[in-house]
Structure 1
Amino acid sequence: MTAVAPRVVLVGPMGAGKTTVAEILAGSWGVAVRDTDHDIVAGTGREISDIFVESGEDVFRDLEAAAVAAALAEHDGVLALGGGAVLRPETRELLADVTVVFLRVGLTDAVKRVGLGTGRPLLLGNVRARIKALLDERSPIYESVATHVVETDGRTPDEVAGSIRELVA
C-alpha cells in the first residue's frame, strides 16, 4: 500500500490567505483541496467560535490535532491548516515528512485581511494587539515546520500561489 501525503501543506496565521491560496493551487494543479478548519466544522456541526466558547480552546485543539492527523493520512492534494494547528508537538512531528509552506504575513496586512470587527475567538479585545501577539508567538513555530517560506504582504493570492508553484514541483 502506498503512503498518501498532501502535495503541499499551507501553514500560517489568520489573514495569511491559506484557504484562498490553497484553492488556487488545487485548481491549477487539478487536485483536491482540504482545510482542517472546515473538516472540524463539518465533523462537529459547530462553528469554531462556538467550540471555543462552549467547550474551550483545549477541546478545540484536540479536535484540530485529530483533523490534521486524518487529513495528512488521507489527503493527497493541497491542505490548509488552521492557524494554531502547529502548536501541538504531535502535529509538528507529522509535518516533518511533508512539504510545508509557511505563508508569512506582517501585522498591517494581517489586520487588513482579518478586519477589526472579526468574530474569531482568539481576537477578543484589542484585535491589532492580539494579532501582533499571535504573530510574535507563532512565527518561529511556523518557520520550524516549513520547507519553504513565502511572503504574502502586498501580494495577491494568485501571486502567492505562483511563488508556491515555482517552489513545489
Structure 2
Amino acid sequence: MRSTGPAVVVIGLPGAGKSTVGRLLAEALGVEFRDTDHDVEAAAGTSISDIFLSEGEEAFRARERAAVVAALAEHPGVLALGGGAILDPVTQADLAGLRVVHLNVSLAAASPRVGLSAARPLLVGSPRKQWLELAEARKPIYRSLATISIDTDMLTPEQVVEQVLAELGERSA
C-alpha cells in the first residue's frame, strides 16, 4: 500500500453513485472528499458537456488527466474519478497500490440516477445503447483496477458505504 495518495479512490460507470457514496464514505472516514469531474469544471470555468461541445473529447480527456494527476498527488481523502478517467493507461498505472473501490451498477439502476440526459456528453443519441457500450468497454478495466467491488443496484448509498468500510476493515470516524 502506498503511504501517499488518496485514502480511497472510487470508480464506476455513470449512475454508479461515485459522488454520493464518495461524500458519505469521506464523512464516515473523517476525511475530505474530492471529485475530478468537479476539478475539471472548476479549472475550465464551464461544464463537462460544454467542454465536449466546444473542444471535443480529446481535449476533455487531457483536462481530465491533469485533474487526476493533481488529485492523486495532493488529496489524502476520498477521491471520485470521472467514469472514463480509467481509460488512460497512465491513470491505470497510477492507481496501482491504492485502495480502489469499484461501484458496479446495472443500466436499470443507473437510468433513474443519471437521467441519461444531454448533460452526459457520451450518452447523446441513444443514451441506453451508449451506456451499455460504455459498460462493455469499461467494466473489465474497473474490475482489474479494483481492490473492492460493490454491486450497488439493491443498496442505498449508506449501505454501500457500510459494505466498503467492512471490506476495508475501517470504522466510521
- Normalising by the smaller structure, the TM-score range is over 0.9
SS for the counterpart of 1:119 is coil
CA distance in structure 1 between the aligned counterparts of 2:117 and 2:66, rounded to whole angstroms: 30
CA deviations on 1:41-61 (whole Å, 9 max, x unpaired) are 111111100000100000110
Runs of 4+ in structure 1 displaced over 3 angstroms?
none
Q: Quick one: distance in 1 between partners of 2:117 and 2:55? A: 23
Deviations 1:96-145 (A, max 9, x none): 12110100001111112111444210011111111111111110011111
Between Structure 1 and Structure 2, how many residues are aligned?
168
Distance in 2 between residues matched to 1:135 and 1:47, nearest whole Å: 23
Instruction: Give me the CA root mean square deviation.
Output: 1.3
Matched residue of 1:10: which SS? strand
Q: 1 CA distance for matches of 2:4 and 2:105?
A: 29
The unaligned stretches of length 5 or more in structure 1 are none
Look up the match of 2:156.
156
The correspondence of residues 123-162 of structure 1 with structure 2, limited to 5 A, is 123-162=123-162
Aligned partner of residue 15 in structure 2, secondary structure:
coil
With 80-89 and 108-117 compared, the bigger mean Cα shift is at 108-117
Please, which moves more after superposition, 42-51 or 116-125? 116-125
What is the match of residue 23 of structure 1?
23
Corresponding residue of 1:111: 111
Please name the residue that 1:95 is paired with.
Answer: 95
Aligned to 1:61: 61
How many percent of aligned residue pairs carry the same amino acid?
Answer: 50
Contact 2:5–2:98 at 8 Å: present in 1 too? yes
Structure 2 unpaired stretches of 5+: none
User: Structure 1: which amino acid aligns with 2:102?
Assistant: F
1 CA distance for matches of 2:54 and 2:160?
36
- For 2:135 and 2:112, locate their aligned partners in 1 and report how far apart those are by CA, in whole Å: 14
Relative to structure 1, the CA distance from residue 67 to residue 116 in structure 2 (aligned partners, 3 Å threshold; closer, same or farther) is closer
Q: Secondary structure at the match of 2:83?
A: coil
1 CA distance for matches of 2:108 and 2:133? 13
Letter of the aligned partner of 1:155 in structure 2? L
**Post-superposition shift, 1:3?**
5.1
Q: Please, what TM-score do these two structures have when normalized by structure 1?
A: 0.95
Hey, what's the Cα distance between the residues in 1 that align with 2:41 and 2:118? 18
Q: Could you tell me the TM-score, scaled by structure 2's length?
A: 0.93
Letter in 1 for 2:124: L
Per the alignment, residue 39 of structure 2 pairs with: 39
